[in-house]
Amino acid sequence: MLSVCSRIVVPYDGSELSKKALNTAIQLAKQDEKIQINAVTVLSIPDRLAYNDGVRESYFKAAKELEQEIEESLKTLPNNETKITVLEGNPGAKIVEFSKDNGVDLVIMGSRGLSGLQEWFLGSVSQYVVQKSACPVYITK
């Protein structure tokens, strides 16, 4: 029984690393049907494009496709509670906020694998979540 981490959030963007993170969460959940998985997709629409209906529509269409991918993966968990949530805004901040607001016990997410210099200049969502999250964060590589 793994009830110490019964509420898991998996940020999902369709990348190979987010798929790996979701698979890791599924493997944990298979060990205990009390584990809940919430896959979160965050739409980060650039401000200059946010008011263009066509652009917004294409972002939400892409999010729908991600939801379908997630649903396929989560079908392997017939007894666990699963949810898919789509948020809009800064990915790191939204993941941290969502985790705090929903009493999440563990975040499982991928890392972009930036080089040291790129990471220093650009930062990363996973780095932000590790620094700001109130709960443990498991990074897959």
Place of tokens 């990348």: 15
SS3 string, 21-59, reads HHHHHHHHHCCCCCCEEEEEEEECCCHHHCCCHHHHHHH
- Domain ranges across the chain: 7-139
3-state SS assignment for residue 62: helix
Looking at domain 7-139, its CATH class is alpha beta
Residue 81 is predicted with a pLDDT of 92
Reported pTM: 0.87
pLDDT digit of tens for each residue in the chain (141 aa)? 456 789 999 999 998 999 999 999 999 999 998 999 999 999 886 666 556 667 778 878 988 999 999 999 999 987 889 999 999 999 999 999 999 999 999 999 998 755 555 555 445 899 899 999 999 999 998
Contacts of 32 (CB under 8 A, 6+ apart): 1, 2, 3, 6
Residue 123 CB neighbours (<10 A): 13
